[in-house]
């Protein structure tokens, strides 16, 4: 099993509807291929962690990096892991109209992202925190996913 973390820029800002479509589509596809992880989106900034079998993730990332809806895809980490740190695939973003989103399966408000489990090294947890910071801005620093001392 491996996990991949990347950041990218959306070619144009995604609307609430775009985001909901993306959430539905990815959740279905990812559940089918046993891919778990989390996607952060804000103001055109995208970051995603995906975990799964290498033979699934490698072509998936290949497909993601060719997707015309975003550009400047920068892969930060691609390495073997022993166990999954996420039980499902979810998305965290600020909808313009939050009503209705809260009930959606797999949707998270950016300040509600739970701390990562200890199965993730602190270096990787830090990377997720930095990625969150890069996507959501300095406000995200207040709700670190790093384990508390």
Partner 1 sequence: MREQQLKDILRHMPAGVATLQGPELRYGFVNEAMQEVLGASVTEGFPITECPGTLPADLLEVMQEVYRRGQPYVAKAYRLALSSEGDEPGRPRYFDIALEPVREGGGEEVTGLLLFAVDVTGQEEARQRTHELAIETRRLDTRLRVLTETVPQITFTVDAKGNYEYVSPQWYYFTGQPPTADLNAMWPLLIHPDDRLRILYQTDAARTAGIGWSYEYRLRRHDGQYRWVLSRALPELHAPDKPVFWHGALTEVHDQRELAEALRRGEAELRFLADSIPELIWTATAEGFVDYYNQYSEEYSGLLSKDLGPTGWINLLHPSEQANAARRWVHSIATGESYEGLFRMRRHDERFRWHIIRARQLTDARGLRWFGACTDVDDQHRLREVLQTQYDELARTNRDLDTFVYTASHDLKQPLFNLRGLFDELRRSASFDDPQESQILTMVDEALRQLDLTLQDLAATVQDQRGLSAPTESLDLRNVADEVLLGLRAQVLESQAEIELDFEAAPTLTYGRANLRSVLHNLLSNALKFSHPGRPPHIKVQSNLSDTNQPILTVHDNGLGMELPDMPTPVFQPFTRQHPHVAGAGVGIYLVQRIITSRGGHLEVTSTVGQGTAFSVYWFDA
Number of Cβ within a 10 Å radius of residue 102: 11
Among the listed residues 22, 56, 65, 126, the single contact to partner 1 using CB under 8 A: 126
**φ and ψ of 65, to 5 deg:** -70, -20
* 21 is a site residue for partner 1 (CB under 8 A): no
Q: Which residues pair with 9 in a beta bridge?
A: 45, 71
Of these, 55, 79, 103, 105, which contacts partner 1 (CB under 8 A)?
Answer: 79
E-only strand ranges, 43-95: 45-52, 70-80, 89-93
Q: How many residues of this chain bind partner 1 (CB under 8 A)?
A: 24
Strands 36-42 vs 89-93: parallel, antiparallel or unpaired:
parallel
Site for partner 1 contains 7 (CB under 8 A): yes
DSSP state of 86: -
Alpha helices in the chain (DSSP H): 16-32, 54-66, 122-136
Q: Which stretch binds partner 1 (CB under 8 A): 25-33, 88-96, 104-112, 119-127?
A: 119-127
73 binds partner 1 (CB under 8 A): no
Determine if 127 is a binding residue for partner 1 (CB under 8 A). yes
Using CB under 8 A, list all residues that contact partner 1: 7, 76-77, 79, 121-127, 129-131, 133-134, 138, 140-141, 144, 146-149
């Amino acid at each position: 099993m491996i996990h991949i973390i990347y950041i990218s820029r959306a070619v144009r800002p995604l609307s609430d509807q775009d985001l909901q479509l993306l959430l539905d589509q990815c959740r279905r596809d990812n559940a089918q291929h046993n891919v778990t992880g989390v996607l952060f989106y804000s103001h055109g900034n995208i970051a995603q962690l995906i975990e799964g079998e290498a033979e699934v993730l490698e072509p998936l990332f290949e497909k993601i990096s060719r997707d015309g809806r975003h550009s400047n895809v920068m892969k930060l980490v691609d390495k073997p892991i022993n166990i999954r740190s996420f039980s499902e695939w979810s998305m965290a973003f600020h909808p313009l109209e939050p009503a209705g989103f809260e009930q959606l399966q797999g949707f998270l408000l950016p300040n509600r992202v739970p701390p990562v489990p200890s199965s993730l090294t602190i270096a990787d947890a830090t990377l997720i925190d930095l990625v969150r910071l890069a996507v959501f801005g300095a406000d995200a620093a207040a709700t670190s996913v790093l384990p508390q001392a």
